[in-house]
Amino acid sequence: MTDISAPKSKRYSLRLPDPWSVGALLIAAFVLAPIVSVLWIALNPTENIWPHLIATTLPRYFGTTLVMMFSVGAVAAATGTGAAWLVVRYSFPGVRVLEWLLLLPLAIPAYIGAYALVDFLEYAGPVQTALRGMFGWQTSRDYWFPEIRSQWAAVVVMSASMYPYVYLLARAGFREQSGCGHEVAQSLGAGGLSRFLRIGLPLARPAIAAGTAIVMMETVNDFGTMDYFAVQTLTTGIFTTWLESNNAGGAAQIACVVLSLVIFLVALEKASRKKVRFYALSRRHRPIQRLPLHGVPGWLATAACTVPFMVGFILPAAVIGDHAIENIDGFWASGLLKAFWNTLTVGGIAAVLTVLAALFMVYGVRLSGRKLPAMIAPVTTIGYAAPGAVLGVGILIPLAQVDHLLADLVEAFTGGRAGLILTGSAFALVVAYSVRFFAIAQGATDAAMGRVAPSLPMAARSLGRTKFRVLAEVYMPLMRGSIGSALLLVFVDCVKELPATLLLRPFNYSTLATRVYDEASLENLGDAAPAAVLVSLVGLIAVGMLARANR
């Protein structure tokens, strides 16, 4: 007879962690490790110079960074938003061509634009030479010309290089608006400016804010332009404190200030659209129809869209191209060929590893169904917001310690010296690129995987396919285009990345970006031009794909 009063034994089922979710967490930890490393180094410096930084250089670095960040953000936002409104709302001479030409400045890195602007406008450049010949001036004391290597010139160069971030998102925001509201406003007597300020601009504000935030973060990240124009920002302060003062702890503390500023920008951008919601009040979505602009207004609109394209693309492309033609033999120089091969190798390896890791993590998060991986995955995108100089501090110092530990172990067991295995090779560059641009690969793969109907992988699983075979046989064929685009975009960003490359490259190791910087820093723009042309050509390929995807 069974004793019903006896307590029933509880059965506990131990759910083992899924390898896919564990792998996703490990990848997320890998991406976040440099940020954590920066925080640790800043809180535990070997020599605390924080009071000295606050009393001397940090206020100047911080103030200049704020001025540059908001100045470039404001100019780029005004330029990109205005150009986007014109090409979406109006029809004027050349609008269909200018709509795509306005994207081309993305192909020219800002530091190349800086070298071109100085070469074009300096005392020995064609502009001042022509002015002296035209008016008979003999020396610079005979006339006034604005100082080229200055803060305002840096604002112009960076705004012209990065306004396409705002333009691209603002154009999409204007396109998605219904034409009904604009037609009603026009029937009530609202003019073009009034419709822009009261309808178009408020509805596109989230897109414009997102683009402006990207511009401001890229401004904080920039080193080549700021260094060339002698503008002392927090990023240049990291290089100065670490490389010239030989104080890694102080560099990490400045890096924490930069990171805090970037996080503030991200939070500000999200807060600006947190409570803003827009809804379509009609079941019929009628796109905005372009209004014709004839005569003088039409040509003024053409000029307004042509000027940023000329400053951001034509001017640097013409100057660099002219120097490259004059130094055509430089394309076959051994140093350039070696830098080109290094760029292809490191950028290619980083792009493949980054996209594979992003694919694994996104798939693992979707399979796990647990909250922790889903919560950590969005945090990994902070790597893109973190400047390259910050990642350089967080990667090089820990890797150097690991290198010394490995060398000691090899010497203890073999009696020989292994040298610097990690920091003495391109390994640190691959790590930095993977962390820095992981968000691009993650965003592309997540969006592509989200477009696959859930019934397809479910049907494959019901037919006995393993999770890996579902990924290989169902997802991969349907995501081939998006994965290819992610590979190209990550590779292009690796080619253009300068701050992290300068900090992490091994001795006597150059990429196209560092070769351009090294030669231009010595005022050898002719020798820098071939490498600059190659960097710009790679950027043009990416812009072409971007334009094709946004038709």
Length of the chain: 551
Q: Is residue 199 part of a domain?
A: no
> What is 298-318 written as a DSSP string?
HHHHHHHHHHHHIIIIIHHHH
- In this predicted structure, which of 165-174, 186-195, 242-251 has the lowest mean pLDDT? 186-195
Q: Distance (Å, rounded) from C-alpha 542 to C-alpha 309?
A: 17
| Nearest C-alpha neighbor of 394 from the set 30, 51, 53, 64 | 30
Q: Is residue 419 part of a domain?
A: yes
| Nearest C-alpha neighbor of 81 from the set 188, 172, 180 | 172
Q: Is residue 480 part of a domain?
A: yes
Q: Is residue 355 part of a domain?
A: yes
Q: Using alpha carbons only, what angle is made at residue 474 by residues 471 and 480, rounded to the nearest 5 degrees?
A: 85
Q: What is the pLDDT of residue 181?
A: 58
pLDDT band at 178 (very low <50, low <70, confident <90, very high): low
Q: Distance (Å, rounded) from C-alpha 101 to C-alpha 91?
A: 16
69 vs 409, residue with greater confidence: 69
Q: From residue 84, how far is each of 98, 157, 208 by CA, in Å?
A: 10, 20, 10
Q: What is the mean pLDDT of residues 506-534?
A: 89
Q: What is the pLDDT of residue 10?
A: 47
Q: Is residue 212 part of a domain?
A: no
Whether the predicted pLDDT of 539 surpasses 90: no
Sequence-distant (6+) residues with CB within 8 A of 274 are none
Please report, rounded to a whole number, the percentage of residues in the chain having pLDDT higher than 90: 27
Q: What is the mean pLDDT of residues 314-320?
A: 93
Task: Dig out the tokens for 319 from the structure.
Answer: 């100057």
Residue 379, amino acid: V
> What is 241-275 written as a DSSP string?
IIIIT--HHHHHHHHHHHHHHHHHHHHHHHHHTTS
Residue corresponding to tokens 């043009």 = 540
Task: Dig out the tokens for 223 from the structure.
Answer: 């080193």
Q: What is the mean pLDDT of residues 474-485?
A: 84
Task: Dig out the tokens for 275 from the structure.
Answer: 């409570």
Question: For 415-436, where are the alpha helices, taking DSSP H only?
Answer: 427-436
What are the tens digits of pLDDT across the range 284-303? 555 667 788 888 989 999 99
Instruction: Give the number of domains in the chain.
Output: 1
Whether the predicted pLDDT of 548 surpasses 60: yes
Q: What is the mean pLDDT of residues 101-130?
A: 91
The upper half-sphere exposure of residue 22, i.e. CA atoms within 13 Å in the direction of its Cβ, equals 4
| Nearest C-alpha neighbor of 199 from the set 187, 181, 212 | 181
Sequence-distant (6+) residues with CB within 8 A of 59 are none
pLDDT band at 193 (very low <50, low <70, confident <90, very high): low
CATH number at residue 497: 1.10.3720.10
Q: Distance (Å, rounded) from C-alpha 211 to C-alpha 81?
A: 10
Helix (H, G, I), strand (E, B) or coil at 292: strand
| Nearest C-alpha neighbor of 235 from the set 499, 545, 535 | 499
Q: Distance (Å, rounded) from C-alpha 199 to C-alpha 88?
A: 14
Q: Which residues pair with 292 in a beta bridge?
A: 91
- In this predicted structure, which of 96-100, 488-492, 529-533 has the lowest mean pLDDT? 488-492
Beta strands in 76-130 (DSSP E): 90-91
Residue 436, amino acid: R
- In this predicted structure, which of 18-22, 235-239, 387-391 has the lowest mean pLDDT? 18-22
CB 461 within 8 A of CB 470: yes
Residue corresponding to tokens 């009609």 = 282
Q: What is the mean pLDDT of residues 311-335?
A: 91
What are the tens digits of pLDDT across the range 257-287? 888 888 887 777 666 655 555 544 444 555 6
Q: Is residue 175 part of a domain?
A: no
- In this predicted structure, which of 25-39, 284-298, 457-471, 487-501 has the lowest mean pLDDT? 284-298
Please report, rounded to a whole number, the percentage of residues in the chain having pLDDT higher than 70: 86
Q: Is residue 8 part of a domain?
A: no
Q: What is the mean pLDDT of residues 16-37?
A: 80
pLDDT band at 156 (very low <50, low <70, confident <90, very high): very high
Whether the predicted pLDDT of 226 surpasses 90: yes
Provide the mean pLDDT of the chain. Answer: 83
The residue range of the domain holding 501 is: 19-43+327-551
Q: What is the pLDDT of residue 286?
A: 58
Q: Largest Cα–Cα distance of the chain, in whole Å?
A: 120
Whether the predicted pLDDT of 1 surpasses 50: no
The listed range with the strongest mean pLDDT (128-142, 196-210, 359-373) is 128-142
Q: Is residue 527 part of a domain?
A: yes
What are the tens digits of pLDDT across the range 332-381? 888 899 999 999 999 999 999 999 998 988 888 887 766 766 677 677 77
Helix (H, G, I), strand (E, B) or coil at 346: helix
CB 109 within 8 A of CB 535: yes
Q: Distance (Å, rounded) from C-alpha 432 to C-alpha 435?
A: 5
Q: What is the pLDDT of residue 189?
A: 60
Whether the predicted pLDDT of 11 surpasses 80: no
